[in-house]
Amino acid sequence: MKKVLIIGAGGVGSVVVHKCAQVPEVYGEIMLASRTKSRCDAIAAQVKELTGREIKTAAVDADNVPELVQLIKSFGPDLVLNVALPYQDLHIMDACLETGVDYLDTANYEPLDEAKFEYKWQWAYQERFKEKGLTALLGSGFDPGVTNVFSAYAMKHHFDEIHQLDIIDCNAGDHGQPFATNFNPEINIREVTAKGRYWERGEWVETDPLSWSMNFDFPDGIGKKKCFLMYHEELESLVQNLKGIKRARFWMTFSDNYLNHLKVLENIGMTRIDEVDFQGQKVVPIQFLKALLPDPASLGPLTKGKTCIGCLIKGVKDGRERTYYVYNICDHEEAYAEVRSQAISYTTGVPAMIGGMMMLTGQWKKPGVWNMEQFDPDPFMAALNKHGLPWVETFLD
Ligand code: NDP
C-alpha cells in the first residue's frame, strides 16, 4: 500500500483523487495539495461522500521548491502526481529529485511568457533522475498519454513498421454555454491559437493556426465532424520512438461557434500573453479572460454527449499494408455520475491514476525520464478497460 501526493486541485486533479480513492489496494494514502486549500477540502469532502475514504489536504505553492520539499518530506509519498499547470513541472521535478520521490505529470513544461511547449526542458532531467534511481513519467493523460500507449500497442501487436499516424480528438459534447473551454482556459487557448505543425519525411512542417481541416466520420453515432490540424506535444516523442514513421499529425474538432468566439477574442487582443498597463496595473489579457470564463469544473453537470479520441494508423505487417483505428468513447454524463466531472477531465484523470498505478506496482519503473510509449503498453491497456476508459480496435482494410 503506497502513498501518493497529488498536486493541483483543478478539474483533472479532482478526477485523479476520485479514481485513486477507488483503488485502495494500490493507493493506500492520498494527499491533495494545491495553492488554494479550500478547493482541496471540497474535493476531499466529495470523495468521502462517494467512496468513504479520507483524503489529506494541504496548501502549497508548487512554484516554491523549498515549500514543496517541506511538504513532500512531511507526508513521505512514494509518488508525486502533478496535475497543476505546465508552468510548475520543472519546480516539482526539482523537489522530487531533492526528496528522492518518483514523478508523474500529464502535460509538458511550458514557460509562462512564451506559448511554446517542448520536451527539451524535461528530457534534460534524464541523467539526474537516472543517477538518483528515480522514475519520471511524462504526459500520462489522454493526449498525450493514452494516444502514446495506443501507438505503442499498435507497434507491439499489429505492425512491423508504422508509416502514418493521425491522432484524432473529438469532443462531441455540448455544455450549452456561449463560450467555455473544457480544461484550463489559458492552457487551452494558448494551444489552439498556436501554429500547427506535423511531421513528414524526417522534418516538421508548420501551418498557420487552424488553417488545415478534414472531415472524419466518428463511430458510435457521433458521425462526421470537421477536424483541424494542430501541433500537440505527443508528436515530439512519438516521431522518435515509432519505428518507420513517415508522417504524424494531430487533429481536433471545434464547433463553428467556438471558433467564431475565439477569432473575436484574438482580434481584440484578449488572448495576448504579454502584460499590458491598465489603470496603473499590469494585466495579462489571457489571464483576465480566464477569470471571466466559466470554470471548467462548473461544466460537469451541464455537459451532454460524448468524446472520441483515437489513433488512425497505417503501416506494414508481414509485408502487407494495413490500416488500424483504435479509440475510446467517453460519455460526459456517465463521467459526471461517477466522479462529478465532465469527460475531458475524466479522460485525463483516469490515465494519470493508471500511470501512477503502473509505477507504484513496479510494472513501469525504470530510472530516468520517460514518455508513455517507452513502457510495455499491455498492462496499461488492460487497466483502461477496467477503470472506465474501454477501447475499441478495428482494421479498416
Ligand atoms: P485547472 O486550471 O482546472 O487546475 C489546475 C490547478 O492547479 C488549479 O486548481 C490550481 O490551483 C493549481 N495550481 C496552479 N498553479 C499552482 C501552483 N503554483 N501551486 C499549486 N497549485 C497550482 O486545470 P486542469 O485540471 O484542467 O488541468 C490540469 C493539468 O492537466 C494541466 O497541466 C493541463 O494542461 C493538463 N491536461 C492534460 C490533458 C491530457 O490529455 N494530457 C488534457 C487536459 C488537461 P488553485 O486552484 O489551488 O489556485
The pLDDT tens digits for 260-279 are 999 999 999 999 999 999 99
What residue ranges line ligand 1, CB within 6 angstroms? 7-13, 34-36, 39, 60-63, 83-86, 88, 106-107, 139, 141-145, 183-184, 187, 296, 348
End-to-end CA distance of the chain: 46
Q: Which of 236, 238, 217 is nearest to 327 (CA)?
A: 217
Question: Ligand 1: which of 5, 12, 190 to mutate, judged by most atoms within 8 Å of the beta carbon?
Answer: 12
Residue 84 CA to ligand 1 center (angstroms) comes to 4
Residue 80 scores a pLDDT above 90: yes
pLDDT class for 64, splitting at 50, 70, 90?
Answer: very high
Cβ atoms of residues 315 and 164 within 8 Å: yes
Q: Is 43 exposed, middle or buried (CB count within 10 Å of its CB: 0-12, 13-18, 19+)?
A: buried
C-alpha distances in Å from residue 164, one per residue of 36, 153, 318, 328, 393: 44, 15, 17, 20, 17
- The alpha carbon of 187 and the centre of ligand 1 are apart by a number of angstroms equal to 9
From 43-57, 105-119, 310-324, the region with the lowest mean pLDDT: 105-119
Asked if pLDDT for residue 374 goes beyond 80, the answer is yes
- Which band of pLDDT confidence, cut at 50, 70 and 90, is reported for residue 56? very high
Per-residue pLDDT at 76: 98
Please give the number of the atom of ligand 1 that sits closest to the Cα of 144: 41
Q: For residue 309, name the pLDDT band (cuts at 50, 70, 90).
A: very high
Q: Quick one: average pLDDT of 332-355?
A: 96
Nearest CA to ligand 1 atom 8: 10
Q: What percent of the chain has pLDDT above 70?
A: 100
What is the predicted pLDDT for the residue at 117? Answer: 82
What mean pLDDT value characterizes the chain? Answer: 96
pTM of the predicted model over 0.75: yes
pLDDT at 397 over 80: no
| Residue 181 C-beta-side C-alpha neighbours within 13 Å | 20
CA distance 260 to 31: 41
Identical fold between 2-138 and 146-341: no
Q: What is the layout of strands, in order, in the sheet containing 102-105?
A: 56-59, 27-34, 2-7, 79-82, 102-105, 135-138, 368-371
More confident residue, 190 or 228: 228
Q: How far is it between the farthest Cα atoms of the chain? A: 68
**What is the topology classification, in CATH, of domain 2-138?**
Rossmann fold (3.40.50)
Query: For 214-260, how does the pLDDT look when each residue is reduced to its tens digit (9 = 90+)?
Result: 999 999 999 999 999 999 999 999 999 999 999 999 999 999 999 99
Q: Which residue among 184, 192, 308 has the greatest number of ligand 1 atoms within 8 angstroms of its CB, and so is best to mutate?
A: 184
CA of 85 to the centre of ligand 1 (A): 4
| One-letter-per-residue 3-state SS of 103-134 | EEECCCCCCCCCCCCCCHHHHCCHHHHHHHCC
Determine the Cα–Cα distance for residues 59 and 37; give it in Å rounded to an integer: 5
Whether the pLDDT of residue 79 is over 90: the answer is yes
Instruction: Report the separation in Å between the CA atom of 259 and the middle of ligand 1, taken as the mean of its atom positions.
Output: 23
CATH H-level superfamily of 146-341: Dihydrodipicolinate Reductase; domain 2 (3.30.360.10)
pLDDT tens digits, residue range 110-146? Answer: 888 877 789 999 999 999 999 999 999 999 999 999 9
Q: Where are the domains of the chain?
A: 2-138, 146-341
